[in-house]
Structure 1
Amino acid sequence: MPFSALFLAALSLLPPIHASPSPPVPEPIQVVELPLPPVISSRAEGACTATINRRRTGCIHQVFDEFQAGDFTPDGNHVIVNIEFVGAPAAPDPASIYSGEQVILIKADGKTFPNGDTWKCLSCGVPASNAQSLDPERDYPHVARNGKQALWGHNILDCGEAPLASSQCTPNKTHIYPIHWPISVDGSGSGGIPREMRLHPDDIHMGWSSFTANGGQHTYFGRLQFNPNPTTGLPLAPRYDLVDVDILIQPNGASPIMANGTELHLHDNAIAAGELRGFSGAGDEILYIGSPREANNIDVFAVHIITGAVRRLTSHPEYIDPIAFSHDNNWFVGMDTRGSNRQMWMAGMRYIPPLIDLVTVTAASSTRNNGVRRFFQPILIDRYGDRGDYFGQRVNAAGDGSNGSINDPNWNGRADPAFSPDSSRIVYWQALVVSPACGGTNPLPCPVSNAPGGRTYRVMLARLTKRRPQQPAPIFKVPGRIPWATPFPPGASIPTQYSLPAGNYSLYGKVHGVAHTSITSDPTYGGLQTVSVEYENYSDENGYSINGTESVTLTRTPSQPWLSKLEWYSDLYETGVVTATKKTGPGGFNLTIDAQANIFEADGTLTTTIDGIVYKQPANGT
């Protein structure tokens, strides 16, 4: 089908413009914890004794080093989990197979497998000939819609014609294949390094991100092709190759901010895919973390696979990252810091254009965590996203906040949540904050786990008790290539994206006013160094006017591309619907943060006040 016909066909599937309905009312939600294998505190060989697990089918450790929960099997009765078995006896004991990082199914229906366990290991005991050269990356487990395959990090687990949850899926019938991304012209080498891999609902296509050498990342989309006997590239073992790859950059497309002479222009329809977050329930849209629409506010966007139409799904000033759509395509659940006030000190003032983000975006996206302490909680939002004063519903709001309760703030949401196929239940997992994000020199005390065996991780099931089961939406048929993206065959170079040149500019508000902007480049290492803005009655939203100044300087360290050192001065005032200020103290605000460690360290203060409510930055190390 030619592109014009594909485009028109896709347009017919999109909801009408301005068709967002009134926000839904909150609904009752019941949350319970799902069972996991027995827990032991020792990793010593043989520590998982028959006394602890009488069926001798494995024990897990208290610490969540390798743990990660995924989504449901098609019957909705099981959840896939990446886990670390410890304490198994030595071979040739039959129980020796329950050792190391494995992928299992756990029961979500209150029942057991035929052997009486509430779990079944999918990868344990698979013959070496069926699992050659597995990739060590085994995160983000995901069950294919066909129920017979699973994405396990950079591997595909395949049980042939048998459903994974069935008794017919045995180790001898199971094969595990690594995923290979060819990037050299001749196909040689170990290939590209994908991350955050997500399987499309059609079970054929894949999306992923990949870091660049200078501290950035791009997003890609391609097709899985089985290669039973590869002759080039590594590993030379049966594998899945990523082919027909597109990089999600629109050739000659608009950038979020562009200069035309001495004027700046914001382009809300620009496709600016940062980190991949998955797909809509039908698979017609790709989800990603995008360039901010408002200063210091990190949000999730959706772009249509054919038309390139962009939707901003979230707008709350807090930070969202992991996200999953329901199979009926009507809802999504995101892990978000909203309610914690973690980001309000820097992002709480609304409708500031994202000018300083040219130098602050990495830091703004890094302050959401304090090392292993995360501030995510699951938020249920309808498919139309945040709008007006609707910011969704917290899934685990019920509870008294006590130690171990479903809304205990010391239990932090992790990636990824998921919906059951009938869209009536949500599964998510949490980790308990541990040292060094608490205790020791950290002023926050460490909580004591009251989970079974003292576990520091748990899997939670939320039942949307008033919902009737829904049928999944028809799976979107993906074209051979994404029409608006850039082909990325082996040997291709990453396209050069538009870069805003240094200079003095004016950005005129969509409603009224102007932002006088000065941008300077780093004379030593290149890239942008300082962004200074003076706002004069600036407004992008009716009822909001911004005045004042803000300036941020980024100091770069080429050997540490993920490290941000910011010198920040802010004196902003907002009037109209709200009265708000965003101010730094004497001497400004100096922030140092590494995006790979997320440890907050700052001198000075940056404070946002909204209608008398004061939001202060976190204390160092918290």
Structure 2
Amino acid sequence: MVVLESCWWQGAIGVVKDIITQVKMRPSNTISILLALTEACVYGAPTEQCKVPHSLAPPPPAPEPINIRQLPLPPVIANETQGACTTDVNPLGTGCVPAALEERFQGGGFLPDGRHVLAMVTFAGAPAAPDPASIYEGEHIIIIKTTEGDRFTNGDPWKCITCGIPAQNSRGRAPGNGYPQAFRDGKRILAGTNIIDCESDLASDDCTPEKTNVYAIRQSNTADDSGPGGQIRELRIHPDNVHLGFSMATVNDGKFDQYSYLGRLQFNPSPTTGSEPLAPRYDVVNTQTLFSDSQKSVYVDSNNPGQLVINKSAIIIGELRGFNGDGREVTYVGYPHESSNIDVFAADLTTGAVRRLTEHPEYVDPIDISAHDDWMVILDTRFTERQMWLSGLRRIPPITDLVSTSATSSTRNNGNRRFFQPWLLDRYGDRGDYFGQQINAAGSGVPGSGAINDPEWNTRADPRWSPDGTEIVYWQGLTEAPACGGENPLPCYPSTEPGGRNARIMIAEFTSRDPKPPIKDVPTVPDVVPWAMKYVPGAPSPKRIPPPPGNYTLKGKCQGSASVTLIDQSNSGFLETVRVTYNGFSDDGVNVLNGWEEVTSVNPSPTETKIDWYSDLVQTGPDAGTKKSGEEGFHLLIDVWLNDFEANGTLVTTVGGKKYTQPANGT
């Protein structure tokens, strides 16, 4: 009990210090700061940071009724040859889509009226010009009515926004239309690295192709502003509708990495630099790299060079995922708080205060926070047991993650087979035994049935909230070869959708909720993020600097310690092996860890990681369990883009008497 009390007071003192600091920085928003700091310490990481009474956390919300229905899509054709989309298939002459749609489809967000959603589709089989229907060919953005029975004046429940736009209206258009999102003005759409701009409301008849323009988005990446610009990806509109968040990939020391950025969108009607054609475009200016050299999750204590320190308040942004409702925080996939457990976090763009939003051992990535900041929807592999063999043993410090994160995050998929399902969480996120409510839990759950919870229908990024907080839109793709069938031991199931279509878009309605008034304006955030770095076009990307090779001690916050050896096997200048031995290690005073792990990671190519993993861990306490490799160890080669699971050896985690084994190769 003495240990528990000392841990409690250690945490409490830390919270008080943080509260005082943050209130001084933002006295006008004291209540929000108190909540954020309480969440960060109590709810986000309840036993790693502070031992506090669970009564401080609000009780989890009760499950609520959810009605799910499917939105209509254009009719399906059996082949994609020119003219296959006949008037017999679509009498209205407004286009057809192929059955194999998934890799050429993506659900998007709501328009600000909450009655329409966006989607990127690929039309096929259009007749040749000058037939008016010839414009329905290739990748385009459509708007879909969300109210059953509603139609546009063309007779369809959908309307193509980008079909038939004159060439002179899209001279600088960039390829791709992914992650379609609407601006708050109802006249503009972000799609890929383009902004689609109509003179009228997008859903109105006045929004015609002749009145629509497509402008590329360009982030300069050279000192003289030459060239096409940086390869920006995963774009997200900031709620102020002025700023843009995005990520850019890089290679550091032969290894894939990426950094996240925040910049201001500025329309440039007459650019004089960059690649041809010099058409009107949106430039990203005053860009901030959401990174700081001073922010490190694992570092050497400057006052004790033989001791490692873990800082769970560090802002370590991997891939940007979006923003909270009022844009005060950026959401992102961050460095793990617990070994091998990939979570999403939020960081205040002004103060740098960090909240851990999820903590379930499974993998989470896509997230959307409601406009009123009271709910979030995540896509997670939780309760699929996909990752439990690797991350199921809780409370292990994130030390081996210095070399293993690329590999552990890549095992969430198997090629094009996803294991995500949509989950509803309140604003406080995971805590205690609360891990949210599965949104599409109802149904038979039978593989191949086409039910809303059919596990063969993989939920894909990104889910989106309606402006009034009563609906969520998400989309799914059906598992297909080679992720099933053939040499793969998993069977493939035929689609039950119209024409055998392998993609679908769903609306989840929270039927007991009253709609909230739309938020019309969000304050514009400053261009400068105090804790970030100014982005300098042409300058080298920053580097994440791990602790140098050597022998260290990591002290448990409550008792025990870990002996850590960091090794640069080939004198390459970066870590390759982490060896950890735990001796009665405890950060919370109730879970005690003993045993050892050794992980070696090399990169045959920038995106490939080869892992050799040896483990013999035993934990006692409420989260008791083991994590053990076979005598031959566990060996994995995986690519961060392809996610094909191929391993040798075994790595098994046992928690609560249940054994979790790695997936079979190819599954």
TM-score range, shorter chain: over 0.9
For 1:6 and 1:139, the matched residues in 2 are separated by 38
Shift in alpha-carbon separation, 1:490–1:364, aligned structure 2, 3 A: same
Hey, what does 1:41 align to over in structure 2?
78
Instruction: Tell whether the 8 Å contact from 1:435 to 1:446 is kept in structure 2 after alignment.
Output: yes
Hey, what does 2:187 align to over in structure 1?
148
Instruction: Tell whether the 8 Å contact from 1:319 to 1:368 is kept in structure 2 after alignment.
Output: yes
For 1:36 and 1:265, the matched residues in 2 are separated by 53
For 2:538 and 2:511, the matched residues in 1 are separated by 52
Instruction: Tell whether the 8 Å contact from 1:182 to 1:192 is kept in structure 2 after alignment.
Output: yes
For 2:24 and 2:616, the matched residues in 1 are separated by 52
Select the residue among 454, 459, 466 that pairs with 1:420.
466
The alpha-carbon deviation at position 185 of structure 1 amounts to: 1.7
Give the letter for the 1:131 counterpart: S
For 2:392 and 2:523, the matched residues in 1 are separated by 37
For 2:543 and 2:595, the matched residues in 1 are separated by 35
Pairing of 1:437-476 with structure 2 (within 5 A): 437-472=483-518, 475-476=522-523
The alpha-carbon deviation at position 610 of structure 1 amounts to: 0.7
Instruction: Tell whether the 8 Å contact from 2:287 to 2:527 is kept in structure 1 after alignment.
Output: no
Hey, what does 1:229 align to over in structure 2?
270
Q: Is 1:249–2:291 an aligned residue pair?
A: yes
Output the TM-score relative to the length of structure 1: 0.97
Q: Is 1:193–2:231 an aligned residue pair?
A: yes
Select the residue among 238, 253, 265 that pairs with 2:309.
265
Select the residue among 275, 278, 302 that pairs with 2:322.
278
Instruction: Tell whether the 8 Å contact from 1:39 to 1:453 is kept in structure 2 after alignment.
Output: yes
Give the letter for the 2:285 counterpart: V
CA offsets, 1:348-400, max 9 Å, x none?
Answer: 00010000111110000000000000000001111111111111110000111
Instruction: Tell whether the 8 Å contact from 1:11 to 1:307 is kept in structure 2 after alignment.
Output: no
For 1:113 and 1:138, the matched residues in 2 are separated by 22
Using the TM superposition, name which of 126-135 and 150-159 deviates more: 126-135
Q: Is 1:122–2:167 an aligned residue pair?
A: no
Instruction: Give the SS at the match of 2:134.
Output: helix
Instruction: Tell whether the 8 Å contact from 1:180 to 1:234 is kept in structure 2 after alignment.
Output: no
Hey, what does 1:76 align to over in structure 2?
114
Q: CA RMSD in A?
A: 1.5
Instruction: Tell whether the 8 Å contact from 2:23 to 2:30 is kept in structure 1 after alignment.
Output: no
For 1:555 and 1:484, the matched residues in 2 are separated by 32
Select the residue among 591, 594, 599 that pairs with 1:547.
594
Pairing of 1:71-220 with structure 2 (within 5 A): 71-110=109-148, 111-160=150-199, 162-213=200-251, 214-220=255-261
For 1:339 and 1:602, the matched residues in 2 are separated by 22
For 2:566 and 2:432, the matched residues in 1 are separated by 33
For 2:368 and 2:108, the matched residues in 1 are separated by 11
Pairing of 1:534-573 with structure 2 (within 5 A): 534-557=581-604, 560-573=605-618
Hey, what does 1:335 align to over in structure 2?
379
For 2:130 and 2:571, the matched residues in 1 are separated by 61
For 2:106 and 2:616, the matched residues in 1 are separated by 43
For 2:27 and 2:135, the matched residues in 1 are separated by 54
Hey, what does 1:319 align to over in structure 2?
363
For 2:72 and 2:588, the matched residues in 1 are separated by 48
Shift in alpha-carbon separation, 1:4–1:32, aligned structure 2, 3 A: closer
The alpha-carbon deviation at position 248 of structure 1 amounts to: 0.5
Using the TM superposition, name which of 465-474 and 395-404 deviates more: 465-474
Select the residue among 529, 534, 551 that pairs with 1:487.
534
Give the letter for the 2:78 counterpart: S
Shift in alpha-carbon separation, 1:350–1:233, aligned structure 2, 3 A: same
The alpha-carbon deviation at position 521 of structure 1 amounts to: 0.9
CA offsets, 1:526-576, max 9 Å, x none?
Answer: 31111011011111224211111111111232xx11111111110100111
The alpha-carbon deviation at position 499 of structure 1 amounts to: 2.5
For 1:259 and 1:421, the matched residues in 2 are separated by 46
The alpha-carbon deviation at position 10 of structure 1 amounts to: 5.5
Hey, what does 1:57 align to over in structure 2?
94
Output the TM-score relative to the length of structure 2: 0.90
Instruction: Tell whether the 8 Å contact from 1:328 to 1:471 is kept in structure 2 after alignment.
Output: no
Give the letter for the 1:330 counterpart: D
The alpha-carbon deviation at position 224 of structure 1 amounts to: 0.5
Select the residue among 601, 606, 630 that pairs with 1:585.
630
Hey, what does 1:301 align to over in structure 2?
345
Q: Is 1:368–2:412 an aligned residue pair?
A: yes
Instruction: Give the SS at the match of 1:116.
Output: coil
CA offsets, 1:279-316, max 9 Å, x none?
Answer: 11111110110001100000001011111111110100
The alpha-carbon deviation at position 234 of structure 1 amounts to: 2.2
The alpha-carbon deviation at position 462 of structure 1 amounts to: 0.4
Hey, what does 2:53 align to over in structure 1?
none
What fraction of aligned residue pairs are identical, expressed as a percent?
A: 51
Q: Aligned residues, how many?
A: 616
Instruction: Tell whether the 8 Å contact from 1:276 to 1:288 is kept in structure 2 after alignment.
Output: yes
The alpha-carbon deviation at position 11 of structure 1 amounts to: 5.3
Shift in alpha-carbon separation, 1:15–1:105, aligned structure 2, 3 A: farther
The alpha-carbon deviation at position 475 of structure 1 amounts to: 1.8
Instruction: Give the SS at the match of 1:361.
Output: helix
Hey, what does 1:433 align to over in structure 2?
479
The alpha-carbon deviation at position 166 of structure 1 amounts to: 1.2
Shift in alpha-carbon separation, 1:70–1:14, aligned structure 2, 3 A: farther
Give the letter for the 2:365 counterpart: D
CA offsets, 1:170-218, max 9 Å, x none?
Answer: 1111111011111212211111110101111111110001111230000
For 1:549 and 1:10, the matched residues in 2 are separated by 45
CA offsets, 1:560-600, max 9 Å, x none?
Answer: 11111111110100111133010111211111111111011
For 1:79 and 1:536, the matched residues in 2 are separated by 54
CA offsets, 1:300-342, max 9 Å, x none?
Answer: 0101111111111010000011111111111110110001100
For 1:107 and 1:321, the matched residues in 2 are separated by 28
Pairing of 1:334-413 with structure 2 (within 5 A): 334-402=378-446, 403-413=449-459
Instruction: Tell whether the 8 Å contact from 1:329 to 1:472 is kept in structure 2 after alignment.
Output: no
Hey, what does 2:66 align to over in structure 1?
29
Instruction: Give the SS at the match of 1:289.
Output: strand
Select the residue among 33, 38, 43 that pairs with 1:14.
33
Instruction: Give the SS at the match of 2:403.
Output: helix
Q: Is 1:612–2:657 an aligned residue pair?
A: yes
The alpha-carbon deviation at position 523 of structure 1 amounts to: 1.8
The alpha-carbon deviation at position 472 of structure 1 amounts to: 4.2
Bigger proportion of residues as helix: 2
The alpha-carbon deviation at position 5 of structure 1 amounts to: 8.9
For 2:84 and 2:481, the matched residues in 1 are separated by 25
For 1:511 and 1:112, the matched residues in 2 are separated by 63
For 2:30 and 2:204, the matched residues in 1 are separated by 40
For structure 1, which runs of at least 5 residues remain unmatched after alignment? none
CA offsets, 1:451-480, max 9 Å, x none?
Answer: 111000100110111111113456243013
Instruction: Tell whether the 8 Å contact from 1:34 to 1:460 is kept in structure 2 after alignment.
Output: yes
For structure 2, which runs of at least 5 residues remain unmatched after alignment? 1-21, 40-56
Instruction: Give the SS at the match of 2:216.
Output: strand
Instruction: Give the SS at the match of 1:359.
Output: helix
